[in-house]
Amino acid sequence: MGSPAQELVLETRRVIGLQLLVSGLVAAGFLVGKGPWEALSAAYGGLISVLSALLLSRGVGKAGAVAQQGEKKKGEAILYVGAAVRFALVLACFGIGLAVLMLAPLPMVMGFIAVQLVFIFSAKRMKQEQS
């Protein structure tokens, strides 16, 4: 077994892989059921969620490294700023998808939600394993 940091990196990669798989499945479902534009919209929504997870993973890594150096307040600040940045990024990506790229709203939101659920259920599972 590796260090806790190595285990977190491996678990993060696994979750992101699952997110990409679900994003592809949702997009494939829209491709078959509605068409290529809706499939692209769903994939875009899923990728917004994957991007958010990647940024969270990066922020947690930085905050953990800073906290290990004894700067817990700075680590907390990194997490709070990271949450605000992710929120703003998700809003901006949805805005770009809807207003600039003119993607289909429902598939985009459904792709985002499906991939976000993978993240939520994975986090819940990890929490149960730690208990």
Q: Render pLDDT for 100-128 as a digit per residue (tens, 0 to 9).
A: 999 999 999 999 999 999 989 988 888 78
**Contact 79/22 with Cβ under 8 angstroms?**
no
**Is residue 131 one of the residues assigned to a domain?**
no
How does DSSP classify residue 71?
-
Confidence bin at 3 (pLDDT 50/70/90): low
Q: Give the angle 55-57-60 at the CA atoms, nearest 5°.
A: 110
**Is residue 29 one of the residues assigned to a domain?**
yes
Report the number of distinct structural domains present in the chain: 1
**Is residue 30 one of the residues assigned to a domain?**
yes
**Is residue 100 one of the residues assigned to a domain?**
yes
Does 11 score more than 80 pLDDT? yes
The pair of structure tokens assigned to 115 is 């991939």
For the stretch 20-33, pLDDT in tens is 999 999 999 999 99
**Is residue 130 one of the residues assigned to a domain?**
no
Average pLDDT of the residues in 58-78:
86
pLDDT value, residue 5:
60
pLDDT value, residue 126:
81
User: What is the Cα 73 distance to its own chain's centre?
Assistant: 25
Domain that holds residue 110: 4-125
**Is residue 34 one of the residues assigned to a domain?**
yes
pTM score of the predicted model: 0.89
